[in-house]
């Protein structure tokens, strides 16, 4: 990771908020699921200690190889060729291929992190969220392996016939009144002072 120097002002405030949103427990659960799906241990900086902090989390996933293997396990062939070179642009390309694979798998853009969220440690909690979202989509697709996250619900659009729609219009008209053919002609606008005309005195017996 390139050294960006200390953050100040608004940049530091955003960084602190991002760090506060990162849950080590949730991140650990996400990586445990990845290990279970891949059926192998991940490469932690200190293997005996496992996941210690955000930097360890980023270290495990940063080259994109593990992520590409993950999406390929759920959807074989999602990533055609995984880069194994350590060059930064190749690692970033792996992450991009993973994200594209997730999108093709059914995740929406708001479910996905950005490459810099992982590669530059900007919003690592978003990476965790994406893994959980991916796990939920896998359940929807009847993945029979280890599970994580909440199963994505199937959409249940309701279709109505023309007759049913016509009946609904009648109900609304009876309950709330209908203004079909009606105008506001002759009505006093709300908030306006009502003018009493001379002939009204006569009708009302007023002198």
pLDDT band for position 27 (cuts 50, 70, 90): very high
Higher pLDDT, 181 or 58: 58
Write down all domains in the chain, each with its CATH number in brackets. Answer: 9-141 (1.10.418.10)
- CA 43 to mean position of chain CA atoms: 28
pLDDT band at 16 (very low <50, low <70, confident <90, very high): low
- Look at residue 152 in the predicted model and tell me its pLDDT: 78
Side-chain half-sphere CA neighbours of 109 within 13 A = 0
How far apart CA 79 and CA 101 sit, in angstroms, is 7
- Residue 154 CA to residue 140 CA, distance in Å, equals 8
- With beta carbons less than 8 A apart as the criterion, state whether 119 and 96 touch: no
3-state SS assignment for residue 13: helix
Lowest-pLDDT choice from 102-111, 121-130, 164-173:
164-173
pTM: 0.68
């Amino acid at each position: 990771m390139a050294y960006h120097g200390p953050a100040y002002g608004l940049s530091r405030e955003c960084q602190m908020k991002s760090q506060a949103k990162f849950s080590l427990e949730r991140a650990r659960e996400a990586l445990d699921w990845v290990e279970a799906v891949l059926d192998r241990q991940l490469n932690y900086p200190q293997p005996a200690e496992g996941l210690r902090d955000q930097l360890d989390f980023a270290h495990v996933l940063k080259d994109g190889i593990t992520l590409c293997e993950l999406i390929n396990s759920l959807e074989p062939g999602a990533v055609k060729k995984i880069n194994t070179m350590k060059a930064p642009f190749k690692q970033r390309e792996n992450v991009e291929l993973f994200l594209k694979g997730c999108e093709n798998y059914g995740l929406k853009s708001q479910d996905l992190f950005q490459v810099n969220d992982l590669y530059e440690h900007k919003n690592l909690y978003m990476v965790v969220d994406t893994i959980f979202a991916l796990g939920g989509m896998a359940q929807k697709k009847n993945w029979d392996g280890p599970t994580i996250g909440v199963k994505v619900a199937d959409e249940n659009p309701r279709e109505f016939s023309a007759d049913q729609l016509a009946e609904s219009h009648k109900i609304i008209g009876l309950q709330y009144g209908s203004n079909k053919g009606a105008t506001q002609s002759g009505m006093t606008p709300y908030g306006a002072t009502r003018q009493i005309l001379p002939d009204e005195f006569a009708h009302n017996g007023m002198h």
